[in-house]
């Protein structure tokens, strides 16, 4: 079947672009910068066995220690004017960024006014260009002193976080309409406390649950504090990692049930837990997992196994229709939805154009079927530090060379046209 149609988005649909502080700013000391120093050798050594042969061959950089050190990142802290030009060239109406807690409060109770002014200035510049800041309070990284107190597990975690958050509300609050409290608490808890792939490298369901509870509490307190101080004209939400999971054998009721349980644990329980404390739902969609039941020794375990798949550089299955299913599932929460991240690792920029268009096709379909999607913020503006994968995966609409020049990829022009016209011509066979 050939699909050829003009896809017109609703008036006032908000187009945007997303980043996070640690991934682009550079020169930060926090729990991640400490963790990566200790783990870079290990990550480089395991890469050969951890990734598929085609990935190792195509991205040999993954075998080196430097790949896993964030360092100066994209030097974005010193280059906001350059980045603003890139943002403007995309014709977007919103820019999502996060504030780096470790910069604002490098030592407990000591706030760095210069860092606060930096972000204030950023907000001012965005607004003067008519670009709506989407301010995120926390995108995974924490100050070292907070880590040393036990991080998100500690008894004072929420209180500590709220001191920082209140400072930001006091200083920047009045200028911003859209706030994201926390980025993907799902990923943070799962990778930091269940699989141990992210700092602090813990593998304990018990401890993960404590972190989960604190994060939910922090979100709720922050939601209330924001509204108390700034009234009802602001929009507050949390960003959620929502992948699309399906049963490998959909005729097997146990397989189907398992997917339901995983869906709940890995994603929707967070959405549900905060639903009375959110003005919008932030949805972040990257890929599809096909869940297969199998025997691991005497136990029934699950693994991800795909039938047919097109993958990106990270080996993630590209499955645009999945975003439609995720959005349909979110409908029952009865809240406006912003896609606060969606993008792909594509060094050669071969698949990104279709990736964007195909996902927009399915987002539009969900809108047509009554899902209240208000905006789409692409991930990401720049090639950035991709956490435990390091530098080799390239998510940017702009590449960044060794002298920190921002180089537009062809797909940035395509996205820019879509944002300008609020529509796209969709042709696919
Ligand atoms: C995170 C980003 C990350 C992206 C791609 C999201 O889960 O919020 O920080 O770069 O996925 O992996």
pLDDT, position 34 = 98
CB 10, CB 367: distance < 8 Å: yes
pLDDT, position 33 = 98
Split at pLDDT 50, 70, 90, the class of 181 is: very high
Distance from the CA of 2 to the center of ligand 1, in angstroms? 33
Q: Give mean pLDDT, residues 334-353.
A: 98
Distance from the CA of 3 to the center of ligand 1, in angstroms? 30
Ligand 1 shell residues, CB under 6 Å: 20, 23, 183-184, 187, 241, 284, 341, 379, 386
Q: Give mean pLDDT, residues 64-78.
A: 98
pLDDT, position 408 = 98
Is residue 122 pLDDT above 70, yes or no?
Answer: yes
Distance from the CA of 254 to the center of ligand 1, in angstroms? 31
Chain-centre distance for alpha carbon 93: 19
Q: Which residue's alpha carbon is at the smallest distance from atom 3 of ligand 1?
A: 386
Query: Which of 80-89, 253-262, 321-330, 346-355 bottoms out in mean pLDDT, i.e. has the lowest?
Result: 253-262
- Best substitution site from 341, 345, 352, 395 to test ligand 1's pocket, by max atoms within 8 Å of Cβ? 341
Distance from the CA of 429 to the center of ligand 1, in angstroms? 30
- Best substitution site from 377, 378, 387, 388 to test ligand 1's pocket, by max atoms within 8 Å of Cβ? 387
* Ligand 1 atom, smallest distance to 389 CA: 12
pLDDT, position 306 = 77
pLDDT, position 38 = 98
pLDDT, position 229 = 98
* Ligand 1 atom, smallest distance to 343 CA: 5
Instruction: Give φ, ψ of 185 to 5 degrees.
Output: -60, -25
* Ligand 1 atom, smallest distance to 386 CA: 10
pLDDT, position 118 = 98
pLDDT, position 294 = 83
Distance from the CA of 246 to the center of ligand 1, in angstroms? 21
- Best substitution site from 386, 393, 394, 395 to test ligand 1's pocket, by max atoms within 8 Å of Cβ? 386
* Ligand 1 atom, smallest distance to 384 CA: 10
Look up residue 311 and give its DSSP letter.
B
Distance from the CA of 139 to the center of ligand 1, in angstroms? 9
pLDDT, position 3 = 67
Q: Above pLDDT 90, what percent of the chain?
A: 92
* Token pair 């006014």 in the structure block, residue: 113
Q: What share of the chain is helix, strand, coil (3-state, %, to 5)?
A: 45, 20, 30
In 279-418, beta strands by DSSP E:
280-284, 288-296, 299-304, 337-341, 373-379, 398-400, 406-408
Q: Which residue's alpha carbon is at the smallest distance from atom 10 of ligand 1?
A: 386
Distance from the CA of 225 to the center of ligand 1, in angstroms? 27
Split at pLDDT 50, 70, 90, the class of 2 is: low
CB 382, CB 24: distance < 8 Å: yes
Q: Above pLDDT 70, what percent of the chain?
A: 99
How many angstroms separate the most distant Cα atoms in the chain? 63
Q: Which residue's alpha carbon is at the smallest distance from atom 5 of ligand 1?
A: 386
Q: Give mean pLDDT, residues 88-99.
A: 98
pLDDT of 94-111, one tens digit each? 999 999 999 999 999 999
Distance from the CA of 215 to the center of ligand 1, in angstroms? 18
Look up residue 194 and give its DSSP letter.
I
Looking at per-residue confidence, does 296 or 421 come out higher?
A: 421
Is residue 264 pLDDT above 70, yes or no?
Answer: yes
Residue 25 Cα distances to 71, 72, 78, angstroms? 9, 7, 8
Write out the DSSP string of 18-54: E--HHHHS----SHHHHHHHHHHHHHHHHHHHHS-HH
Can the peptide bond before residue 324 be classed as cis, meaning omega within 30 degrees of 0?
A: no
Distance from the CA of 244 to the center of ligand 1, in angstroms? 16
* Ligand 1 atom, smallest distance to 20 CA: 9
The overall average pLDDT reported for the chain is 96
* Ligand 1 atom, smallest distance to 345 CA: 5
Q: Which residue's alpha carbon is at the smallest distance from atom 7 of ligand 1?
A: 241
Distance from the CA of 1 to the center of ligand 1, in angstroms? 33
Q: Give mean pLDDT, residues 250-276.
A: 93
CB 203, CB 196: distance < 8 Å: yes
Residue 176 Cα distances to 218, 220, 226, angstroms? 20, 19, 11
Return d(Cα 200, Cα 6) in angstroms, integer. Answer: 47
Which of 284, 304, 306 lies closest to 294 in space, CA to CA?
A: 304
Split at pLDDT 50, 70, 90, the class of 295 is: confident
Query: Which residues have CB under 8 Å from 358's CB, separation 6+?
Result: 320, 428
Distance from the CA of 387 to the center of ligand 1, in angstroms? 8
Split at pLDDT 50, 70, 90, the class of 309 is: confident
Chain-centre distance for alpha carbon 418: 22
pLDDT of 127-156, one tens digit each? 999 999 999 999 999 999 999 999 999 999
Return d(Cα 54, Cα 306) in angstroms, integer. Answer: 18
Is residue 298 pLDDT above 80, yes or no?
Answer: no
* Ligand 1 atom, smallest distance to 387 CA: 10
Element spanning 98, H or E: strand 94-98
Q: Give mean pLDDT, residues 323-339.
A: 98
Is residue 305 pLDDT above 90, yes or no?
Answer: no
pLDDT, position 296 = 79
Q: Give mean pLDDT, residues 31-59.
A: 98
pTM: 0.97
pLDDT, position 55 = 98
pLDDT, position 126 = 98
Write out the DSSP string of 151-175: GGGSTTHHHHHHHHHHHHHHHHGGG
CA dihedral 26, 27, 28, 31 (to 10 degrees): 90
Chain-centre distance for alpha carbon 354: 20
Distance from the CA of 345 to the center of ligand 1, in angstroms? 10
């Amino acid at each position: 079947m050939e699909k050829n149609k003009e896809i017109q988005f609703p008036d006032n649909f908000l187009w945007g672009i997303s980043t996070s502080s640690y991934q682009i700013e550079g020169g930060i000391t926090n729990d991640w910068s400490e963790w990566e120093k200790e783990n870079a050798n290990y990550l480089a050594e395991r890469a050969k066995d951890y990734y598929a042969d085609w990935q190792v061959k195509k991205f040999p950089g993954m075998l080196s220690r430097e790949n896993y050190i964030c360092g100066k990142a994209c030097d974005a802290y010193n280059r906001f004017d350059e980045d603003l030009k890139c943002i403007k060239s995309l014709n977007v109406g919103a820019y999502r960024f996060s504030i780096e807690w470790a910069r604002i409060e490098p030592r407990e109770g000591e706030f760095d006014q210069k860092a606060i002014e930096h972000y204030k200035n950023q907000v001012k510049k965005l607004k003067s260009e008519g670009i709506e800041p989407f301010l995120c309070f926390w995108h995974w990284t924490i100050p070292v002193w907070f880590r040393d107190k036990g991080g998100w597990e500690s008894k004072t975690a929420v209180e500590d976080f709220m001191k920082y958050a209140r400072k930001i509300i006091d200083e920047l609050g009045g200028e911003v309409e859209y706030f994201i409290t926390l980025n993907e608490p799902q990923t943070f808890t799962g990778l930091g406390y269940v699989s141990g792939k992210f700092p602090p490298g813990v593998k304990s369901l018990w401890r993960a649950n404590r972190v989960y509870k604190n994060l939910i509490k922090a979100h709720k307190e922050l939601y209330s504090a924001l509204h108390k101080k700034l009234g009802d004209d602001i929009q507050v939400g949390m960003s959620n990692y929502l992948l699309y999971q399906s049963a490998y054998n959909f005729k097997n009721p146990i397989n189907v049930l398992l997917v339901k349980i995983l869906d709940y644990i890995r994603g929707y329980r967070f959405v549900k837990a905060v639903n009375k404390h959110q003005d919008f739902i932030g949805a972040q969609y990257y890929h599809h997992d096909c869940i297969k039941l199998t025997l691991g020794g005497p136990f029934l375990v699950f693994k991800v196994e795909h039938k047919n798949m097109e993958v990106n550089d990270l080996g993630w299955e590209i499955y645009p229709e999945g975003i439609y299913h995720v959005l349909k599932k979110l409908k029952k929460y009865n809240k406006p939805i912003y896609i606060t991240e969606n993008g792909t690792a594509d060094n050669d920029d071969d698949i990104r154009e279709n990736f964007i268009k195909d996902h927009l096709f399915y987002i539009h379909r969900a809108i047509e079927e009554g899902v209240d999607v208000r905006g789409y913020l692409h991930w990401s503006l720049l090639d950035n530090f991709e956490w435990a994968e390091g530098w080799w995966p390239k998510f940017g609409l702009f590449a960044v060379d060794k002298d920190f020049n921002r180089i537009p990829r062809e797909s940035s022009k395509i996205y820019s046209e879509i944002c300008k016209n609020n529509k796209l011509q969709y042709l696919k066979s």
